[in-house]
Amino acid sequence: MKKTFNYIASALIVATSLVGCTNLDETLYDQVASQNYYNTKSDVIRAVLRPFEHGYWSLQSRQVLNEETADQLITPTREDWWDDGGRWARLHRHQWLTTNGEAQSEYNGCFQGIMQANLVIEDLQNRSASRFGFTDTEFNNLKAQNRVLRAWFYIRLLDAFRNVPLAVSYYDTEKNSKGQVEPRKIYDFIESELKAVIPELTKKTSNGGNQNIQGQWTQAGAAALLVRLYLNAKVYIGEAHYDDCERVAQDILDGKYGSYSLADRWDAAFDWNNETCDEVIFAFPGSAGYSHWHYTGDMYWWSVPSRAKDWLKDTKNKQGDHNIKYSASPSYNPKGERYDFELGMPIARFKDYPSDVRLKKYKNLGNNKREGLFIYGKISYTDENGNPQYLKDHNGKYTLDLRDAVGRFGATDGDKWLASADSKLENGDDNSGWMFVKYPLYSDDETGQLEADYCEIRLPEVIYSLAECKLRKGDTAAAAKLLNSVRKRNYPSSDWSSALYQPEGTAQLNMKELLNEWGREFFAEGRRRIDLIRFDKFLSAWWDKPADADNHTLIFPFHRDIIGAAHGALKQNPGYHD
């Protein structure tokens, strides 16, 4: 199958071998920096692709920052595992330090990607298409790719830190800012870059999948980044741009930037063959034989029990054992009493509509098919000798019986509870919290194992953004219809009437319910933090987290090593002290 540009399959091998970059001062792939490097069409393709692979790899830090600090995912201590000096508890409670590495990884990863993109942009700027055998249209599309990718990196930096430098050149550092610039300057740069390159990008002309364009920015991909930017403009620059967001989102839905349509099932955009899914607007190509960074520890490889390979039969892959890191934040205390938090409790929010097909227990059905999103209760499997078994905890002491609560349950059967209601991150175990499979974890004998591309932008984001804009200006009916166009696929047709929002049904749509709906549709997709901030809920209390004392945690600090390396050109974000 084709995973990205028509002619870059061979370049993936090169790109995958070059991802281990950790130093902002490094000489970036020195062969490409040579003026003698660009001799063939393949040379150009490899150069354009290299920053994309870095962008794909760097998603891990964004996932940690946007999910661990939010209300839906947790990493409780699992008896002798996952305390890590209180690292995950500090993220959850918004008590992170300037010496924590999570934000440092996001800052370094984004700026390394920006400088890689700057290098390619400048290298191709004054070269001609005919020299390499491209048409002008092809070459202009290639030259635009890293400008969009650079804008994508800057959106991440604006989101996480707000006050960052603006670097637009690899060769001439005099063109770069001497220190931080105001968020408005970054915002304006992103907006102008995306608007400028949209006409140069490929436009998807028909339905039938993205086989020939998966992995490259298209007109719709760049326009969707504008939607993302405008939707959060009030957070970023204190100025609402919901009208702009609505206009661009509607243009995308109307086909101005290409032909896209919703899939008929929720998991199609995450499945092994999602390059055939017309819902996908932009995805980083993944492959079992090349790179598959979302199938790694800080993303989706560690959202299942530690011994899951016995159940999933995925023992031959290159990722090593699973690890029981991520769980859903609990809906119940250890006594079995339901919490009443407005935020968090994602499983309870899914169960607000109990016939939701995503609530089925995850199961591989064979022939590269799956059902369900969540893992809970006892997990049965057949061992290599044909004997029925149940998964055990990471120490092999007791049978797992995952529940929607955090406590030291051990061998306690899932229909029984503990005497104490005390529940916090530090007193969990392997049974604490439902787990999940967002991207399928197929067995060794399935051809789709690790083949899913990482879906960065899909059509429901555009639809939900438009619905939010409608609801914010009071058009509840239009917002409900937009949301229901997506939601309908999550429920059996026989139950659909009870799952509808007003005015078409019985459930009330308001801003609180819309935030819940963002959480259901985009569960564990690395965006929950910014949604909470936009709804003015990030500083609120939820399970095992008091309300923040002030608002400085809306953005992250710069690691002391980053401050030191800047030699006085970088000032710490407000509210943080070394």
- pLDDT, tens digit, for every residue of 423-454? 999 999 999 999 999 999 999 999 999 999 99
Q: Which two tokens stand for residue 514?
A: 């819309």
With a pLDDT cut of 90, the percent of the chain lying above it is 85
pLDDT digits (tens, 9 = 90+) for 277-303: 999 999 999 999 889 999 988 899 999
pLDDT at 235 over 60: yes
Q: Is residue 486 over pLDDT 60? A: yes
Higher pLDDT: 34 or 364? It is 364
Please state the rounded mean pLDDT for residues 101-128.
Answer: 95
Q: From CA 93, how far away is CA 69, in angstroms rounded?
A: 7
**Average pLDDT score, the chain:** 92
Q: What pLDDT is stored for residue 578 in this prediction?
A: 72
The span from the CA of 150 to the CA of 118, in Å, is 8
Question: Rounded to the nearest 5°, which phi and psi values hold at 263?
Answer: -75, 160
For the residues 491-502, what does the mean pLDDT come to? 85
What average pLDDT does this structure show over 104-125? 96
With bands split at pLDDT 50, 70 and 90, how would you rate the model's confidence at 48? very high
Q: Which two tokens stand for residue 466?
A: 């438009």
Q: For every residue of 17-83, which 3-state class applies, written as one string?
A: CCCCCCCCCCCCCHHHHCCCCCCCHHHHHHHHHHHHHHHHHCHHHHHHHHHHCCCCEECCCECCECC
Q: Reply yes or no on whether the pLDDT at 310 is more than 90.
A: yes
Residue 93 is given by DSSP the state: T
What is the token pair recorded at 307?
Answer: 């011994």
Q: How confident is the model over 192-221, as pLDDT tens digits?
A: 999 999 999 999 999 998 888 999 999 999
The yes-or-no verdict on residue 148 having pLDDT over 70 is yes
Per-residue pLDDT reduced to its tens digit, 366-423: 999 999 999 999 999 999 999 999 999 999 999 999 999 999 999 999 999 999 999 9
Nearest to 574 by CA among 544, 559, 552: 552
Q: Is the pLDDT of residue 2 over 50?
A: no
Phi, psi of 515 (to 5 degrees): -65, -40
Q: State CA 95 to chain mean position distance.
A: 23
Q: Give the mean model confidence (pLDDT) for residues 542-547.
A: 98
Residues 6+ apart with CB under 8 A from 346: 71, 72, 328, 329, 331, 519, 520, 523
Phi, psi (rounded to 5 degrees) for 78: -110, 75
Chain length of the chain: 578
Q: Where are the alpha helices (DSSP H) in 450-573?
A: 459-472, 476-487, 496-499, 511-521, 528-534, 560-565
Res 507 pLDDT > 90: no
Residue 345 DSSP class: -
Q: How far apart are CA 124 and CA 214, in angstroms?
A: 22
Q: Which amino acid is at 50?
A: R
Report whether pLDDT(458) > 50.
yes
Indicate left, alpha or beta for 433 from its phi (over 0: left) and psi (-120 to 50: alpha).
left
Q: Is the pLDDT of residue 12 over 80?
A: no
15 vs 313: which has the higher pLDDT? 313
Is pLDDT at 552 greater than 60 in this prediction? yes
Confidence at 22, pLDDT banded by 50, 70, 90: very low
Q: What is the mean pLDDT of residues 569-575?
A: 95
Is the pLDDT higher at 568 or at 427? 427
Dihedral sign, CA of 6, 11, 13, 19? Answer: negative
- Is pTM, for the whole model, over 0.85? yes
State the pLDDT at residue 555. Answer: 98
Please tell me what DSSP assigns to residue 505: S
Distance separating alpha carbons of residues 44 and 22, to the nearest angstrom: 24
**Rounded CA separation 479/379 (Å):** 39
Distance CA 266, CA 264 (A): 7
Answer positive or negative: Cα dihedral of 48, 54, 57, 59. negative
The pLDDT of residue 401 is: 98
CB 556 within 8 A of CB 533: no
pLDDT class of 318 with cuts at 50, 70, 90: low
Residue pointed to by tokens 């790179």: 291
Those residues with Cβ within 8 angstroms of residue 173's Cβ, 6 or more apart along the chain or in another chain: none
Per-position DSSP letters for 399-462, written without gaps between them: B--BBSB-S--TT--TT---S-----GGG--TTBS-EE-SS----TT-TTTT-PPEEEEEHHHH
Asked whether the predicted pLDDT for residue 324 surpasses 70, the reply is: yes
At residue 317 the predicted structure's pLDDT band, cuts being 50, 70 and 90, is low
pLDDT per position as a tens digit, 165-189: 999 999 999 999 999 999 999 999 9
Q: Phi then psi for 202, rounded to 5 degrees?
A: -65, 145
On the question of pLDDT at 338 being above 70, the answer is yes
End-to-end CA distance of the chain: 50
CA 281 remoteness from chain centre: 14
- Report, as an integer, the average pLDDT of 160-164: 98
Q: Which residue has the tokens 């040379």?
A: 43
Residue 267 has pLDDT above 70, yes or no: yes
Give the integer Cα–Cα distance in Å for 438 and 303. Answer: 9
pLDDT for 33 equals 46
d(CA 529, CA 76): 19
pLDDT of the residue at 35: 59
d(CA 381, CA 209): 35
Q: Is 468 helix (H, G, I), strand (E, B) or coil?
A: helix
Least confident of 24-28, 364-368, 512-516: 24-28
CA distances from 550 to 71, 95, 540, 542 (A): 18, 12, 10, 16
Q: Does 577 score more than 90 pLDDT?
A: no
CA–CA separation, 31 vs 47, rounded Å? 10
For range 105-112, the mean pLDDT: 96
Which DSSP state fits 422? -
Question: What span, in angstroms and rounded, lies between the C-alpha atoms of 360 and 375?
Answer: 8
CA 190, CA 270: separation in Å to the nearest integer? 28
Query: For residue 68, what are its two tokens?
Result: 């661990």
pLDDT at 13 over 60: no
Structure tokens that stand for 283 in this block: 């995805």
Q: What is the pLDDT of residue 100?
A: 81
The pLDDT confidence band at residue 319, using thresholds 50, 70 and 90, is low
CB 215 within 8 A of CB 281: no
What separation in angstroms does the CA of 78 have from each of 167, 395, 432, 475?
Answer: 43, 10, 8, 46
What are the phi and psi torsion angles at 330 (to 5°)? -75, 150
Contact 339, 406 (CB under 8 A): no
